[in-house]
Structure 1
C-alpha cells in the first residue's frame, strides 16, 4: 500500500456509549498517516451525529455499503459479537484489512470460519493489552533472563462489569448465546496477557461461578437471569514450565479496581499494575522490578489522547506498519482462534472438573518480546482432557 494516508472506516462508532468512541476514534486521530474516513451505524441520525462529532469524512447508515466503498482501506468492527461474522466475512470478501474487537466469534466454530477466510488479507484482533509498551518491556525482561527462570506468576484481573446490577444494554452479557461474557472477554484478555509475557499456555485447571444468578437492570428495575460466569479462576502452566494463577473477578466497584501481574523469577521479580476502571485492557500500566530495565517506549498515541486509546493505538500503529511494509506482525484472526480455543479449554475444565491440556499445532507462538519478523501469534490449539 503506497498511499500516504490509511483510510479507516468504523462500524459501530456511536456518540452516546461505545467502545469506538473512547478508544478507536481517539487512537486513529492520534496517529500520523491515518484518517477516519467514515463511520457507520444502522441508524441514519446516529451515523450523521457520529461523523460530525468525530470528524469523519463520510457516514453510512448501511455498514455493508461502507465496507464495500473503495475509499476505505481498513474496516474496524466495533459492534456486538453476534454481528461480527457477517460484517467480517463481507469485509474480507471485499479485500479489506479488518480490525475486529474480541472475541471474534460467538463460538470456536464461528471464529474458525472467519480465520479460514483471511487468506492473504491483513487482520487485527482486539486483544490490545499485549500491545501496551509496559507489557512489551515486561516480556523482554522475562525472555532476556534478567529475572532468571520464571518460577511463578500471579494475576489479579478485576472488572466493574458483570456485577449484580447492569444497564439494560448490557443484558446481552448475561446470555451465553451472545458469545460475550466475563469468560470470553475479561478472561480472554487476561490469559492473552499471560501468553504475551510468559509464552504459550499448555495446561489449565479452572473454576467458574455464577454468584449473582438474578441481575437487576438499572434503568427499569427488572430482573434478568444470568447463565454465564461472573467469576473465573484459572491455575495453569506455560510451555516453559511456569505455573500461574489468574483470578478474574466481576462486580468490583471502580474505586477498588487494582489490576496486578506479578512474576517471580529465580533472580528477580517484575510487576505490572493499573488502577484504571478498564484494568489493563484500556489504561496504561506501570512496570516495576528489582532489576534494571529500560523504561517502556512512549505510546504511539499520547499527549492529549485519552488513556483508553493507548493500547488500541498500538494495534493500529502495528497494523499500519504491516500494510505499508507488506509484513504480517499484527496478531490477527489466527490468534483470535487460538484465544477462543484456549477459553474453550477453560470452560471445559470448569464444566468437567478436569484439567485440560492445550496443544499448539503451530510452533510460532512466541512471547511478545521476541524480535522475530514472522507473525508473532498464529497458534491453533487442540483440547485434550487430562484426568
Structure 2
C-alpha cells in the first residue's frame, strides 16, 4: 500500500457504551497517518451521532455498505461475537484489512473458517495485551536470559465484569452459545499473555466454577440464569518447560482489582501489574524486576490519550506498518485460531477432569522460519519485532 494515510471504518462505534468509543476511536485519532473515515452502527440515528461525536468522515446504518466502500482500508469489527463471522467474511471478500475483537468466533470451527478466508489479506486480532510496551520488554528479558532459566509463573487476572449483577446488555455473556464469556475473553487474554512472554502453552489442567448461578440484571431488576463459568483456574506448562498457574476471577470489586503476572527464573524475577477494573487488557501495565533493565518503549499513542487506548493503539501502529511495508508481523486470525484452540483445551479439561494437550498445527514450521515477519506470525512464539 503506497498511500500515506490509512483510512479506518469501525463497525460498532456507538457513543453511549462501546469498547470502540474508549479504545479504537481515541487510538486512531492519536496515531499519525491514520484517519477515522467511517463508523457503522445499528441505526441511522446512532451512526450519525457517532460520526459527529468522533469526527468520522461518513456514517452508515448498514455495516455492509461501509465494508464495500472503496474509501476504507481497514475494517474494524467491534461488536458482539455472534456477529463477527458474517462481517469478517464480508470484509475479507471486499479485499479489506480486518481488525477484529477477540474472541474471533463463537467456536474453533468459526475461527478456522475465518482464518482460512484470510489468504494474503492483513488481519489483526484484538488480543492487545501482548502488544503493551511493558509486555514486549518482559518477553525480551526472558528470551535474552536476563532472569536465567524461567522456572515458574503465576498470573492472577481479576475483573469487575461477569459478577453477580450485570447490565441486561451483558446477559449475552451468560449464554455459552454466544462465545463471549469470562473464559473466552478474560481467560483468552490472560493465557495469550503467558504465551507472549514464555512461549507456547502445550498442556493445561483446568477447573471452572459458576459461583453465581442466578445473576441480577441491574437495569431491568430481572434474574438471569448463568450457564458460563465465573471462575477459571488453570495449571499449565509451556513448551520450554515452565509450569504456570492462572487464576481468572470475575465479580471482584474495583477497589480490590490487582492484576499480576510474576515469572521466576534461576537468576531473578519479573512482574507485570495493573489495577484496571476490567482487567489488564483494558489498561497499561507496569514492569518491575530485581534486575536492572531498559525501560519499556514509549507507547504509540501520546501520554494524554486515555489508558484504554494504549494497547489498541499498539495494534493499529503495527498493522499500519505492515500495510505500508507489505509485512505480516501483526498477530492476526491464525493467532486467533490458536487462542480458540487453547480456550477449547481449557474447557475440555474442566469438563472431563483430565489434563489436555494443546494443538499446535504449525509448530513444525517454526524451526524452519528465518525471517522475523514469518516468525512473528506463529501463534505463541515470543518474537521481538523492532519498532521504527
| TM-score with structure 2 setting the length | 0.95
How many aligned residue pairs are there? 377
Secondary structure (helix, strand or coil) at the match of 1:374 reads helix
Secondary structure (helix, strand or coil) at the match of 1:318 reads helix
- How far, CA to CA, are the matches of 2:326 and 2:372 in structure 1? 15
Match in the other structure for 1:176: 176
Per the alignment, do residues 170 and 364 of structure 1 end up closer, same or farther by CA in structure 2, a change over 3 Å counting? farther
Match in the other structure for 1:185: 185
- How far, CA to CA, are the matches of 1:217 and 1:365 in structure 2? 48
Secondary structure (helix, strand or coil) at the match of 2:359 reads strand
Per the alignment, do residues 200 and 132 of structure 1 end up closer, same or farther by CA in structure 2, a change over 3 Å counting? same
Structure 2, unaligned runs of 5 or more: 381-388
Instruction: List per-residue Cα deviations over 1:258-285 (Å, max 9, x = no partner).
Output: 0000000000000000111122102111
Match in the other structure for 1:60: 60
| Runs of 4+ more than 4 Å apart | none
CA-based RMSD of the aligned residues comes to 1.4
Instruction: List per-residue Cα deviations over 1:124-172 (Å, max 9, x = no partner).
Output: 0000000000000000000000100001000000000000000000000
Asked if the contact 1:364/1:376 (under 8 Å) is kept, the reply is no
Instruction: List per-residue Cα deviations over 1:1-44 (Å, max 9, x = no partner).
Output: 11110000000000000000000000000100000000001200
- How far, CA to CA, are the matches of 1:345 and 1:258 in structure 2? 26
- How far, CA to CA, are the matches of 2:141 and 2:232 in structure 1? 28
- How far, CA to CA, are the matches of 1:100 and 1:365 in structure 2? 25
Asked if the contact 1:154/1:246 (under 8 Å) is kept, the reply is yes
Q: CA deviation at 1:374?
A: 1.7
- Map residues 99-248 of structure 1 onto 2, 5 A cutoff: 99-248=99-248
Asked if the contact 2:204/2:234 (under 8 Å) is kept, the reply is yes
Asked if the contact 1:209/1:232 (under 8 Å) is kept, the reply is yes
- How far, CA to CA, are the matches of 1:81 and 1:281 in structure 2? 17
Secondary structure (helix, strand or coil) at the match of 1:338 reads helix
| TM-score with structure 1 setting the length | 0.96
Q: CA deviation at 1:359?
A: 3.2
Instruction: List per-residue Cα deviations over 1:37-71 (Å, max 9, x = no partner).
Output: 00001200000000000000000010000000000
Instruction: List per-residue Cα deviations over 1:233-263 (Å, max 9, x = no partner).
Output: 0000000000000000000011111000000
Asked if the contact 2:161/2:278 (under 8 Å) is kept, the reply is no
Match in the other structure for 2:312: 312
Structure 1, unaligned runs of 5 or more: 381-387
- How far, CA to CA, are the matches of 1:258 and 1:371 in structure 2? 38
Asked if the contact 1:364/1:377 (under 8 Å) is kept, the reply is no
- How far, CA to CA, are the matches of 1:75 and 1:334 in structure 2? 18
